Copies of this chain bind each other. A is one copy, B any other.
Amino acid sequence: MKTIVYPGTFDPLTNGHLEIIERASKIFDKVVVLVARREEKRTLFTLEERLEMVKTSLKNFKNVEVDVLDSLLIDYLKKHKIKLVLRGLRTYQDFEYEKAMFEINYELNSSIETIFLITRTFASISSTLVKEVAMNNGDVSKFVPEIVNKKIKDKIRKKV
């Protein structure tokens, strides 16, 4: 059985992430969405909030699971005996960053394989841009799942 992990911060999950997860779920037997912990002050949403939004949005995908990443990715993979990593490519800057991470991970553990999908819809949408639009009271409902759209409004209202 081929299992692949999809690591990220998901602060918050966007429709771009969803597209990659859905496509991967048709290619591989199991997809594990790995939500990275990160320092609290560096994310808009807490780990728990990010996890809740991911789990709610993915509940209808039968072969998709959600887990927390709080170590180096290669240590998680070794512990869970997984060898495949999934990454989405939107832009040139993504490509450059992903190439660097891929080369470093390969040096650290040459049995890990990274697989890339090029994003299709809303290729330009990133979590950062979604937050920027939302903070200016823009409507992000086209770019994120329903629960994220609701949560991000609450979050920003509280902050202001």
A residues near B, CB below 8 A? 2, 23, 26-27, 71-72, 74-75, 84, 89, 91-93, 95-96, 98-104, 106-108, 113-118, 120, 122-126, 129, 133, 136-139, 142-143
Contacts and interface: CB of A to CB of B under 8 A. Distances in A.
Given A26-B113, A95-B95, A117-B115, A103 B89 contact: no
Nearest to A84: B27
B72 A89 contact: no
A124 B137 contact: no
Closest 7 CB pairs of A and B: A100-B124, A72-B136, A116-B116, A103-B124, A72-B138, A95-B95, A91-B96
Contacts of A98: 118
Nearest to A137: B72
A108 B91 CA distance: 21
Contacts of A23: 113
11 contacts: A92-B92, A92-B95, A93-B93, A93-B96, A98-B118, A100-B124, A104-B129, A108-B138, A108-B139, A115-B115, A116-B117
